[in-house]
Amino acid sequence: MSKLPEMVKITKITQENPYVKTFFLDTEIEAKPGQFVMLWLPEIDEKPFSISYIGKETGITVEEKGKFTKAMFGLKEGQKIGIRGPYGNGFTPKENSCIVAGGCGIAPLSTLAEKMNNSVLIMGTRTKDRLIFENRFPNANIVTDDGTVGKKGFTTDVLEEFLKKGNIKNVYTCGPEIMMKKVFEICEKHNIECQASLERFMKCGFGVCGQCEVGGVCVCKEGPVILSDKLRKMKDFGSHARLKSGKRVPISEYAKWRCV
Amino acid sequence: MSKLPEMVKITKITQENPYVKTFFLDTEIEAKPGQFVMLWLPEIDEKPFSISYIGKETGITVEEKGKFTKAMFGLKEGQKIGIRGPYGNGFTPKENSCIVAGGCGIAPLSTLAEKMNNSVLIMGTRTKDRLIFENRFPNANIVTDDGTVGKKGFTTDVLEEFLKKGNIKNVYTCGPEIMMKKVFEICEKHNIECQASLERFMKCGFGVCGQCEVGGVCVCKEGPVILSDKLRKMKDFGSHARLKSGKRVPISEYAKWRCV
Amino acid sequence: MNLETNLCGIKLKNPTILASGILGVSKSLLKNVIENGAGAVTIKSISYEPRDGHKNPTILEFDSGMINAVGYSNPGLHGALDEFTDLKDLNAPVFASVIGKEPEDFTKVIEGLGNLDFSAIEIPLSCPHTPGFGTLAGQDSPEKTLEITKAVVKAAKVPVFVKLSPNTKNIGEVAMAAEKGGASGITAVNTLGPGMIINIEAAKPVMGFKIGGLSGPAIKPIAVRCVYDVYGSVKIPIIGVGGITTGKDAIEMVMAGATAIGIGSGVNYRGNDVFTKICNEMKDWIEKNNYNSLEEIRGIVHE
Amino acid sequence: MNLETNLCGIKLKNPTILASGILGVSKSLLKNVIENGAGAVTIKSISYEPRDGHKNPTILEFDSGMINAVGYSNPGLHGALDEFTDLKDLNAPVFASVIGKEPEDFTKVIEGLGNLDFSAIEIPLSCPHTPGFGTLAGQDSPEKTLEITKAVVKAAKVPVFVKLSPNTKNIGEVAMAAEKGGASGITAVNTLGPGMIINIEAAKPVMGFKIGGLSGPAIKPIAVRCVYDVYGSVKIPIIGVGGITTGKDAIEMVMAGATAIGIGSGVNYRGNDVFTKICNEMKDWIEKNNYNSLEEIRGIVHE
Ligand SMILES: Cc1cc2nc3c(=O)[nH]c(=O)nc-3n(C[C@H](O)[C@H](O)[C@H](O)COP(=O)(O)OP(=O)(O)OC[C@H]3O[C@@H](n4cnc5c(N)ncnc54)[C@H](O)[C@@H]3O)c2cc1C
Ligand SMILES: Cc1cc2nc3c(=O)[nH]c(=O)nc-3n(C[C@H](O)[C@H](O)[C@H](O)COP(=O)(O)OP(=O)(O)OC[C@H]3O[C@@H](n4cnc5c(N)ncnc54)[C@H](O)[C@@H]3O)c2cc1C
Ligand SMILES: Cc1cc2nc3c(=O)[nH]c(=O)nc-3n(C[C@H](O)[C@H](O)[C@H](O)COP(=O)(O)O)c2cc1C
Ligand SMILES: Cc1cc2nc3c(=O)[nH]c(=O)nc-3n(C[C@H](O)[C@H](O)[C@H](O)COP(=O)(O)O)c2cc1C
Ligand code: FES
Ligand code: FES
CB pairs under 8 A between C and D: 112
What average pLDDT does chain B have? 94
Q: Does B9 touch chain C (CB under 8 A)?
A: no
Element spanning C225, H or E = helix C220-231
pLDDT tens digits, B36-93: 999 999 999 999 999 999 999 999 999 998 999 999 999 999 999 999 999 999 999 9
Contact flag B206-C32 (C-beta cutoff 8 Å): no
pLDDT digits (tens, 9 = 90+) for D98-111: 999 999 999 999 99
D4 vs A168: CA distance, rounded Å: 52
Q: Is B66 on the interface with C (CB under 8 A)?
A: no
List, in sequence order, every beta strand (DSSP E) within D93-210. 94-97, 120-124, 160-164, 185-188, 192-196, 198-199, 204-205
Nearest CA distance, C296 vs chain B (angstrom)? 33
**Residue range B202-243, pLDDT digits in tens:** 999 999 999 999 999 999 999 999 999 999 999 999 999 999
- Taking CA–CA distances from D82, the nearest residue in chain A reads A248
pLDDT digits (tens, 9 = 90+) for C203-214: 999 999 999 999
pLDDT in tens, D192-227: 999 999 999 999 999 999 999 999 999 999 999 999
- Cβ(D22)–Cβ(D274) below 8 Å: no
pLDDT at A1: 61
CB contact under 8 A, B248 and C24: no
Q: Do C197 and B208 touch (CB under 8 A)?
A: no
Position D247 scores a pLDDT of 98
Strand residue runs (E) in chain D: 5-7, 10-12, 16-18, 40-42, 59-62, 65-68, 94-97, 120-124, 160-164, 185-188, 192-196, 198-199, 204-205, 211-215, 238-241, 260-263
Name the residue facing C201 among B7, B45, B206 (closest C-beta).
Answer: B7
Q: With a 6 A CB cut-off, is A208 part of the ligand 5 pocket?
A: yes
Residue C62 in contact with partner chain D when CB distance is under 8 A: yes
User: Hey, what amino acid is at A186?
Assistant: I
Q: Which atom of ligand 3 is nearest to the CA of C70?
A: 3
**Which CA distances in Å does B5 have to B104, C61, C269?**
24, 10, 19
Q: Is the dihedral of CA B82, B88, B92, B97 positive or negative?
A: negative
Test C203 with D252 for CB contact under 8 angstroms.
Answer: no
Residue D254 belongs to some domain of the structure: yes
Q: What is the pLDDT of residue B259?
A: 55
Whether ligand 4 lies within 6 angstroms of the CB of D71 is answered as no
pLDDT digits (tens, 9 = 90+) for A92-125: 999 899 999 999 999 999 999 999 988 999 999 9
Which residue in B206, B246, B248 is closest to C73 by CB distance? B246
- Domain range annotation of chain A: 6-87, 97-257
CB atoms < 10 A from the CB of B8, how many? 19
Best residue of C68, C174, C225 to probe chain D, by most D CBs closer than 10 Å: C225
List residues bridging with B47 in a β-sheet: B39
B85 alpha carbon, closest ligand:
2
User: What's the pLDDT score for residue B258?
Assistant: 66
Is D127 assigned a catalytic role?
A: yes
Residue D74 at interface with chain A, using a CB cutoff of 8 Å: yes
Top-level CATH class of B97-257?
alpha beta
- B-interface mutation test, from C41, C51, C56, C73, most B Cβ less than 10 A away: C56
**Nearest C-alpha to atom 29 of ligand 4 is from which residue?**
D21
Query: If you measure from the C-alpha of residue D238 to the centroid of ligand 5, how many angstroms do you get, rounded to a whole number?
Result: 29
pLDDT band at B260 (very low <50, low <70, confident <90, very high): very low
Q: What is the pLDDT of residues D120-148, one digit of tens each?
A: 999 999 899 999 998 888 899 999 999 99
Contacts of C222 in chain D (CB under 8 A): 192-195, 214
d(CA A168, CA B111): 71
Question: How far C125 CA sits from the closest chain D CA (Å)?
Answer: 15
Residue D79 to residue A245, Cβ atoms within 8 A: yes
Tally of structural domains, chain D: 1
Instruction: Tally the C-alpha atoms within 13 A of residue B83's C-alpha that lie toward its C-beta.
Output: 27
Is D197 part of any domain? no
Cα separation, B153 vs D47, whole angstroms? 85
Report whether the peptide linkage leading into residue C241 is cis, meaning its omega lies within 30 degrees of zero.
no
Beta bridge partners of C162: C123, C186
Low-confidence stretches of chain A (pLDDT beneath 70):
1, 258-260
- Ligand 2: centre distance to CA B219 (Å): 14
Spell out, as residue ranges, where chain C has pLDDT lower than 70.
Answer: none
Q: Which of residues 149-188 of C touch D (CB under 8 A)?
A: 167-169
What is the structure's pLDDT at D169?
Answer: 83
Ligand 3 atom nearest residue C59's Cα: 1
Q: Please check the confidence at residue B1 and state whether its pLDDT lies above 80.
A: no
Determine phi and psi for B179, rounding to 5 degrees: -60, -45
Contacts of B240 in chain C (CB under 8 A): none
Looking at residue A255, what is its pLDDT? 85
8 Å CB contact of A246 and D56: no
Contact D94, D40 (CB under 8 A): yes
Chain C residues close to B7, C-beta within 8 Å: 199, 201-202
Ligand 4 neighbourhood includes D216 CB (under 6 angstroms): yes
Q: Closest Cα of chain B to C9: distance in Å? A: 29
Q: Average pLDDT of B141-162?
A: 93
Instruction: For residue C198, give how far its alpha carbon lies from the nearest alpha carbon of chain D (Å).
Output: 6
pLDDT of residue B172 exceeding 60, the answer is yes
Pocket test for ligand 6, best of B38, B198, B199, B209 (most atoms within 8 A of CB): B209
Report the phi/psi class of residue C235: left, alpha or beta, with left for phi > 0 and alpha for psi in -120 to 50: alpha
Residue C64 located in a structural domain = no
Question: What type of residue is C85?
Answer: T
Question: A244: Cβ below 6 Å to ligand 1?
Answer: yes
D210 falls within a domain: no
How far from A158 is each of A99, A102, A162, A192, CA to CA, in Å? 11, 12, 6, 16
Q: State the average pLDDT over residues D7-15.
A: 97
pLDDT of residue A166: 79
State the CATH number of the domain containing residue D36: 3.20.20.70
Could D23 and A218 be called an inter-chain contact, meaning their C-beta atoms sit closer than 8 Å?
A: yes
Q: C47 CA distance to ligand 6 centroid (A)?
A: 21
Q: Could you tell me if the CB of A132 is within 6 A of ligand 1? A: no
| CATH code given to domain A6-87 | 2.40.30.10
Q: Phi then psi for C29, rounded to 5 degrees?
A: -70, -35
Distance from CA of B29 to the nearest CA of C (A): 18
Which residue has a Cα nearest atom 22 of ligand 4? D242
Domain around D157: 5-52+72-190+216-302
Which one is catalytic: D8, D127, D226, D279?
D127
Q: Is the CB of D261 under 6 A from ligand 4?
A: no
A217 lines ligand 5 (CB under 6 A): no
pLDDT at residue number A260: 43
Name chain D contacts of C201, Cβ cutoff 8 Å.
289
With contact defined as beta carbons under 8 Å apart, do A184 and A197 qualify?
Answer: no
Q: Is residue C289 part of a domain?
A: yes
